Structure 1
Amino acid sequence: MKSLRARLAADPAIGTGNVLATVIAHGADLNGPGLTFDTPVDHYPAEHALTLGELDERVQARTAWLHEHGIGRRDVVAIWATEAQDIVLSFLALTRVGAIPALMNGKMSPPIAEEFIRRLRATGVLADAAHRELLHEAPILAEPRELGTADPAKAPENYRHHADDPVVITHTSGTTGVPKAVMHTHTTLYAALKHLLTMPQAQGTNRILNALPIPHTATVLMVNQVLGNRADMLLLSSQDAPNVLHHIERWKPHSVYGFAVTWAGLAREDLTSHDLDSVRMWFNTGDCAHEPHIRKLVAVGTRETVTRDGRVTVKGSHFIDGLGSSEMGHNGFHITHTIDSDHYGRCIGKPYEFAEAAVLTQTGEELPAGKPGLLGFRSPSVSPGYWNDSVNTYRFRLNGWFLTGDLAYRDDSGHYFHLDRIPDAVAGFDGPQLFTSLSEERILAALPEVLDCTVIITPANGQYVADVLLELAPNAADEDRSDAVKAAVGEEVAAIIRKVSVIGSDEVPVTVTGKVRKVALRETRLTGAEV
């Protein structure tokens, strides 16, 4: 008899909108793992490991509430909350009635949240107590926890999704203003997971600490992945480094999933003073991670390896890096680092087997190895587009490729290297090649006392100038680092550096997912302001 994972992979009807119900229909043990949340779920206490049956019953209660209140097929319902259980359980219930949940980061500013909801043309909003007070025009349905008061026995039959049905809307980080609403269908957001079900389960993925932003596409993927793998997962409502460390020591995960901002936060800590031996793997998505942060993480934890004496456990963990986005639907690239790795320089590895990539000119021709250009991506996991925004949907398509918004190059071995985000660089195909992200990577690698840094490039009097902002370790010497920074970044960027400043960790504007808002920093420079 086929394993459960094999049966799920072969099921043509499975997708993002019905994984929980399909796993149960294929005979998964109802007493097996469901999900674990860091806050109470109805009458269950925080960190109670919900069984699959308990999870299903709590989702059915919410499904019944939605049905009783007239929410059904194609209704767009925004969810604005902080707690992981509010977002995830509401998402699972809304898909069961055929509605389209739109997940919103709790850190979004109220004016932007109102505008985001308006652009969705939402039927209603599920907002927790703290957030509903901030909304003045949006149509409030209820607080998410109210949905758990309904009778699960009154839940309607599960909606049957077509492959092309829209099942979730998430959003971009909003580095340039109101985030774009990224739509995924029943099949796009499950395409990568279906491929992974046909492969051996990766080391460490049987017990996962989810430190990804809860309203992000990545968390939707992880919920469906662990349900299919029948694995344990604790979802954190806050991804701050101290909170992540606290839960690693208490809950003993075998892998931790997160964004680059979390790894940067962990790298600021003395990791040797914490018990991190349970961690076999760190998995990064979103922006690729910086080498110094990766090296600090792979130096702790443990991993299994095969020797002449058989499988043994050794000191040091794996770090799987890559590049992903809400639009890509899953990390598009992957590379594995250990304590012995030397393949850095913002290498994001090779595309997954289910995907293709290319470096393109502005007219869509593929560039040869070594030539920097626009990163194009093609995969069944790519979002069909932005909700209610056909202009941006088609702007990011070129010659059959989805444009990720990144600049990259490929080497002769097929590895891809990330250079910068397009809005942050000055990189004409025939002009100067000035990259901010690559410059930051080089500074961090060359100056170990720098915990994090930001480089911005702005126009000035018909030319360009670069400003470098350094966050230093507490014990770093008080000295001028301009020469060391210029030596690290390379001749082209060094020639335009105007100022090297030391700043505090809270002095750089960031998005709701922790990305630096370089657009805002450039605007302050253009108006003569300082950070």
Structure 2
Amino acid sequence: MKPTNDRAQLAVDQELGIGNVLTSLAGRGIGLDRPTLTFDTDVDGHPAWQALTLHELDQRVAARAAALNALDIAPRDCVAVYVSTGADMVLSYLALARIGAIPALINARVPGATAVEYIRRLRATGVLTDAAHRAELAPHGLETPLLADVSELGGGNPAEAPPVYRHHADEPVVITHSSGTTGLPKAVAHSHHSLFAAIRHRLTLPKGQGLDRMLAALPTAHAAMVIAVNLALCNRVQLAVLSEQSGTTVLEAVERWKPQSVLGFAATWSELAGEDLSQWDLDSISVWWNTGDCAHEAHIRRLVAVGSRMSLTPTGIARTKGSHFVDGLGSTEMGHSQFFITHTPTTDRYGRCIGRPHAFSTVAVLDDDCEPLGPGEVGQLGISAPTLSLGYWNDSTTTYRTRRNGFFLTGDLVHRDEDGWFYHVDRAVDAVELPDGRRLFTAMSEERVLADCGDVLECTVLAVREADRVTTTVLLILADKADREADRTAEVLAALEDHVAATVDRVVVVDPELIPLGPTGKVRKVLLRERFLAGEQVGTGQPRTGDGTVSAS
């Protein structure tokens, strides 16, 4: 069967979804010897960095399913998965889905105390974990039963796996969680069809550039990784899964594995942009593919300057210097990026432009009464799409609070222009209304500083209201060779809008370790604001002076 026909058949198969892609493909008996997933660690007797064929992947998942069945894990059981490696996270998800259980994937960086409370609220049947995370959980009084260590699951007999569970369109199949930057991560339930909807759409389109060999530098417990795994399987292409997503780790993996595209989050692009990319062999890269928060122009420009891509030239289609960067905006709850825009070295539509909506998505800019706003007006982003999650597991209050008039309210503030391009300005919880009625958008302010201040690698703008006064602190992380002693206050203020600059109380260079991050690399601005209001001079850990001003940094 031709690959194009195969993709078309998968696109129209309404039985297909995120719960059964692997078993469906294996059952077709086509391409059983083709390489599929590659992991960066040894797993179940298979060596690191050696691709599993479709047959080998199916057999290893069946072995784990048999072991889980022997532990009396049954269909519809919610099982938490809290492990260190991408291999154990992905194989556990696939095995639990195979028997009809509901895997609840937990980021390996979530602290043990937080994980215990999260698992308690899941009301999980049991927890799959490894030695490192058992030790992380141990001091915190976990009441949910610990199941076998994941290292033991590969010893199951594939022939003893129970029959493959038949998933239905709207049934919950996997639970992933939000970033946890505003508090305890929220458990987000995805259905058989919701996380597959964007994949189904892509299968109706020509296969995009860079899809033959993909490197997943994504948090392994995130919905984006679930999508990436199934996208790769359906397109019959190779995917390498990284257990850790730091800049150096990704660059080493690119040199070793030679992917055509890299999938990642904004935090990884920031780290990559801080490296001397000329010292790395990145010639294989044609596409950087971003999801989650939209990326910063300063980081995108450094990445598209390397690699190569196929372009239309005066003499026809040819490979040219520089790569693509596909940007957008998504979240765990959205299930997939809802927008897309492609940057190259020659494009210049930035300013936090997140592009235009995908064909499967209906989007709106809404006021506080959920009424639509016109071009140029900033409002809440509302999404109506088949990719949306079912809601928050065991939390109907939050589920229904975020749904109005057929839209999911994402918590993002955006606007659109007359031509239908959308722009992201901030998260609603981080924007601050000024006394004169204007609003201060922290994310847009960070974008301006990064674009105008060349030796600033990362920037966090923290705006806090105290009575009728707004105080803004600008925290800068510098590139390695930048002068840390130079006063950048004038340069930063010049980059900001006048009404934002007027609120700035302090511009300070900080060590990255002083910026609290969530498990996916997002800055925890809520925590920083709490520290400020508690009297801390944010960025140093030192107290503020009693009159509300800050002491010298």
Instruction: Give the TM-score taking structure 1 as reference length.
Output: 0.98
| Residue in 2 that maps onto 1:39 | 41
| AA matched with 2:430 | D
Output aligned runs, 1:403-482, within 5 Å. 403-427=409-433, 431-477=437-483, 478-482=485-489
How far the C-alpha of 1:480 sits from its partner, in A, is: 1.7
1:429 to 1:13, Cα distance in 2 relative to 1, 3 A: farther
Asked if 1 retains the 8 angstrom alpha-carbon contact of 2:259 and 2:284, the reply is: yes
| AA matched with 1:451 | L
Deviations 1:75-100 (A, max 9, x none): 00000011011110010010111100
| Residue in 2 that maps onto 1:340 | 346
Cα distance in 2, alignment partners of residues 479 and 150 from structure 1:
61
SS where residue 115 of structure 1 aligns?
helix
Asked if 2 retains the 8 angstrom alpha-carbon contact of 1:210 and 1:257, the reply is: yes
1:99 equivalenced with 2:101 (yes/no): yes
Cα distance in 2, alignment partners of residues 239 and 28 from structure 1:
33
The 10-residue stretch of structure 1 (321-330 or 461-470) with the greater mean CA deviation from structure 2? 461-470
Cα distance in 2, alignment partners of residues 475 and 7 from structure 1:
53
1:95 to 1:428, Cα distance in 2 relative to 1, 3 A: farther
Q: Equivalent of 2:266, from 236, 260, 266?
A: 260
SS where residue 49 of structure 1 aligns?
coil
1:51 equivalenced with 2:53 (yes/no): yes
Cα distance in 2, alignment partners of residues 58 and 327 from structure 1:
30
SS where residue 33 of structure 1 aligns?
coil
1:372 to 1:430, Cα distance in 2 relative to 1, 3 A: farther
Output aligned runs, 1:353-368, within 5 Å. 353-368=359-374
Asked if 2 retains the 8 angstrom alpha-carbon contact of 1:8 and 1:23, the reply is: no
1:24 equivalenced with 2:26 (yes/no): yes
| AA matched with 2:432 | V
How far the C-alpha of 1:308 sits from its partner, in A, is: 4.1
How far the C-alpha of 1:428 sits from its partner, in A, is: 8.3
1:429 to 1:69, Cα distance in 2 relative to 1, 3 A: farther
How far the C-alpha of 1:69 sits from its partner, in A, is: 1.5
1:293 equivalenced with 2:302 (yes/no): no
| Residue in 1 that maps onto 2:220 | 214
Output aligned runs, 1:464-503, within 5 Å. 464-477=470-483, 478-503=485-510
| Residue in 2 that maps onto 1:85 | 87
| Residue in 2 that maps onto 1:115 | 117
| Residue in 2 that maps onto 1:524 | 531
Q: Equivalent of 2:7, from 5, 11, 23?
A: 5
| Residue in 2 that maps onto 1:510 | 517
How far the C-alpha of 1:377 sits from its partner, in A, is: 0.9
Output aligned runs, 1:383-398, within 5 Å. 383-398=389-404
SS where residue 133 of structure 1 aligns?
helix
Cα distance in 2, alignment partners of residues 95 and 343 from structure 1:
41
Q: Equivalent of 2:164, from 149, 158, 162?
A: 158
Deviations 1:484-521 (A, max 9, x none): 21111101111111111110122100000000000111
How far the C-alpha of 1:55 sits from its partner, in A, is: 0.3
Asked if 2 retains the 8 angstrom alpha-carbon contact of 1:4 and 1:26, the reply is: no
Percent of residue pairs identical: 54
| Residue in 1 that maps onto 2:324 | 318
Deviations 1:235-277 (A, max 9, x none): 0000010000001011100000000000000000000111100
Cα distance in 2, alignment partners of residues 30 and 41 from structure 1:
20
How far the C-alpha of 1:427 sits from its partner, in A, is: 4.4
How far the C-alpha of 1:460 sits from its partner, in A, is: 2.2
Cα distance in 2, alignment partners of residues 67 and 347 from structure 1:
48
Asked if 2 retains the 8 angstrom alpha-carbon contact of 1:373 and 1:429, the reply is: no
How far the C-alpha of 1:67 sits from its partner, in A, is: 1.2
Cα distance in 2, alignment partners of residues 429 and 386 from structure 1:
36
The 10-residue stretch of structure 1 (211-220 or 487-496) with the greater mean CA deviation from structure 2? 487-496
Asked if 1 retains the 8 angstrom alpha-carbon contact of 2:111 and 2:136, the reply is: no
Asked if 2 retains the 8 angstrom alpha-carbon contact of 1:34 and 1:53, the reply is: no
Deviations 1:333-370 (A, max 9, x none): 00000001110000000110000111100111000000
How far the C-alpha of 1:3 sits from its partner, in A, is: 1.3
Asked if 1 retains the 8 angstrom alpha-carbon contact of 2:322 and 2:344, the reply is: yes
SS where residue 60 of structure 2 aligns?
helix
Cα distance in 2, alignment partners of residues 358 and 429 from structure 1:
28
| Residue in 2 that maps onto 1:274 | 280
Q: 5+ unaligned residues in a row in structure 1: which ranges?
A: none
| AA matched with 1:176 | T
Instruction: Give the TM-score taking structure 2 as reference length.
Output: 0.94
Asked if 2 retains the 8 angstrom alpha-carbon contact of 1:208 and 1:255, the reply is: yes
Asked if 1 retains the 8 angstrom alpha-carbon contact of 2:214 and 2:260, the reply is: yes
| AA matched with 1:172 | S
1:234 equivalenced with 2:240 (yes/no): yes
SS where residue 520 of structure 2 aligns?
coil
Asked if 2 retains the 8 angstrom alpha-carbon contact of 1:34 and 1:54, the reply is: no
Cα distance in 2, alignment partners of residues 25 and 351 from structure 1:
35
Cα distance in 2, alignment partners of residues 308 and 133 from structure 1:
61
Q: Equivalent of 1:141, from 147, 153, 157?
A: 147
Query: After TM superposition, which residue ranges in structure 1, 4 or more long, deviate above 6 angstroms?
Result: none
How far the C-alpha of 1:34 sits from its partner, in A, is: 2.1
Asked if 1 retains the 8 angstrom alpha-carbon contact of 2:459 and 2:477, the reply is: yes
How far the C-alpha of 1:461 sits from its partner, in A, is: 3.6
| Residue in 1 that maps onto 2:543 | none
How far the C-alpha of 1:27 sits from its partner, in A, is: 3.6
Q: CA RMSD in A?
A: 1.3
Cα distance in 2, alignment partners of residues 243 and 479 from structure 1:
31
Cα distance in 1, alignment partners of residues 158 and 182 from structure 2:
42
| Residue in 1 that maps onto 2:546 | none
| AA matched with 1:529 | E
| AA matched with 2:36 | G
Asked if 1 retains the 8 angstrom alpha-carbon contact of 2:172 and 2:390, the reply is: no
Asked if 2 retains the 8 angstrom alpha-carbon contact of 1:166 and 1:184, the reply is: yes
Cα distance in 1, alignment partners of residues 342 and 479 from structure 2:
27
Asked if 2 retains the 8 angstrom alpha-carbon contact of 1:7 and 1:26, the reply is: no
| AA matched with 1:268 | G
| AA matched with 1:38 | D
Deviations 1:150-207 (A, max 9, x none): 1111111100011111100000000111100000000111111101100001100110
Cα distance in 1, alignment partners of residues 425 and 107 from structure 2:
27
